[in-house]
Amino acid sequence: MPEFSTETEQRSTGEARAGRSRGTDYSRRVFASVFDMLPNEDNPSPMVRINRLNPNANFQLFAKLEWLNPFGSVKDRAAWAMLRDLLERGEVGNGRGLVEPTSGNTGISLAAMAQAMGLRMRAVVPNKVPLEKKVLLKIVGAELDVLNDALCPAPGLGDGSINLAKTHAKASPHRYVMPNQYENPKNVEAHLHTTGPEIWRQTEGRVTHVFASLGTCGTVTGVSRFLRSKNPNIKVIAVQPSEGHDVPGLRNISQLDVSKLFDRSCIDEILEIDYELAYRRALDLCRAEGLIAGPSSGLILEGALRTVAQAGAGCGVMIFPDNIFKYVSSMIKHLPQLASETEA
Ligand SMILES: Cc1ncc(COP(=O)(O)O)c(C=O)c1O
């Protein structure tokens, strides 16, 4: 742990604005705790302009890189908001940890946070989740239940991931409490209080379009509510994979009525896009823009490019949920040529 002068400590925006740990200095990006790295208006995830792939010179298009959050995805925001609420209400501690159904990212964020606090975390995941995510959950210390469930855990299914997590919480209340990202309003509030304000400030209020995907719908609902409170004309566009998709974390339109946080009035347009394009556009992002984005980002890019090509002037922000490293096996499945020439 580095030593800090009193002067440095006084200058720290973390202490001044967020009441965070002594020793965190955002200007130097030196943090006293991994929790101080979590994003907020004073420490936003970066936005990078798309240059080579943008077909419209009058429309500025930005990617907001959520994989640069400390635990690697947009779900750091919802996980922290839910965990902080449980901590404040005294619902965790004294041997009681977390159990959560997840397609990977929320579980990874929750498990890493829980471990850093000495709490247990049990993740219930569908078998179809990529191996990389299941192994990552083990690496960050989660106990794991792997089920033959839909790829994105489906509320209400008798033997699905959500019901098994509920069963654990009910059967062992001294060991587990379930944050429940599919219903927990803190998931929406996380984006209302962080992602939305960050975008507003980073674009200096110039944002005209936001592009997001739909899983629990916490991101789109929270971001939309904040940005529309600033400017009701901002267009919120959701991008969804076609039916039968295997893009972890996302739901097809036909699965949306099961997401309690889905609010259709927050969205101007839902674009359904062939899910194969998620993988091809992820490759394009790496090769044309140097952005190591995952498949849900690839899908969002495709939706944004279709919109931007037909728009006049504007300023769009795409929320890119995570990076490609967790999807190497999925990329090889969809783009098998990637695996050729990888062996001696
Ligand atoms: C890779 C990925 N993309 C997109 C999403 C969707 O975000 P939200 O659940 O806020 O709708 C998720 C959610 O888990 C995800 O893991």
- The CATH number of whichever domain residue 330 belongs to comes to 3.40.50.1100
Same domain (yes/no): 168, 207: no
* 341 falls within a domain: no
Average pLDDT over all residues of the chain = 91
Same domain (yes/no): 64, 190: yes
Structural domains counted in the chain: 3
> Does residue 322's CB lie within 6 angstroms of at least one atom of ligand 1?
yes
Cα–Cα dist 85/70, whole Å = 19
Ligand 1 centre distance from Cα of residue 7 (Å): 40
Same domain (yes/no): 158, 226: no
261 pLDDT band, cuts 50/70/90, is very high
* 343 falls within a domain: no
Q: Decide if pLDDT at 6 tops 60.
A: no
Q: Give, for 308, the enclosing helix (H) or strand (E).
A: helix 295-310
Same domain (yes/no): 250, 284: yes
Same domain (yes/no): 127, 110: yes
Same domain (yes/no): 257, 295: yes
Same domain (yes/no): 27, 139: no
User: Which residue's CA is the nearest one to ligand 1's atom 13?
Assistant: 249
Count CB-CB contacts under 10 A for residue 28.
Answer: 12
* 297 falls within a domain: yes
Supply the residues annotated as catalytic.
Answer: 75, 296
> Does residue 103's CB lie within 6 angstroms of at least one atom of ligand 1?
yes
User: Which residue's CA is the nearest one to ligand 1's atom 2?
Assistant: 249
Read off the pLDDT of residues 31-80 as tens digits, 9 standing for 90 and up.
Answer: 999 999 999 999 999 999 999 999 999 999 999 999 999 999 999 999 99
Same domain (yes/no): 54, 99: no
Structural domain for 170, as ranges: 75-177
Could you identify the atom of ligand 1 that is nearest to the CA of residue 219? 10
Ligand 1 centre distance from Cα of residue 174 (Å): 29
148 pLDDT band, cuts 50/70/90, is confident
Q: Which of 117, 142, 177 is the last residue of a domain?
A: 177
Read off the pLDDT of residues 172-187 as tens digits, 9 standing for 90 and up.
Answer: 999 999 999 999 999 9
The amino acid at 254: S
* 344 falls within a domain: no
Same domain (yes/no): 193, 131: no
> Does residue 43's CB lie within 6 angstroms of at least one atom of ligand 1?
no
pLDDT at 158: 54
- Burial (Cβ within 10 Å: 0-12, 13-18, ≥19) of residue 144: middle
Both structure tokens of 174 = 């001294």
152 pLDDT band, cuts 50/70/90, is low
Ligand 1 centre distance from Cα of residue 42 (Å): 23
> Does residue 298's CB lie within 6 angstroms of at least one atom of ligand 1?
no
Same domain (yes/no): 25, 44: no
Q: At what angle do helices 105-116 and 75-88 cross, to 10 degrees?
A: 40
Could you identify the atom of ligand 1 that is nearest to the CA of residue 322? 1
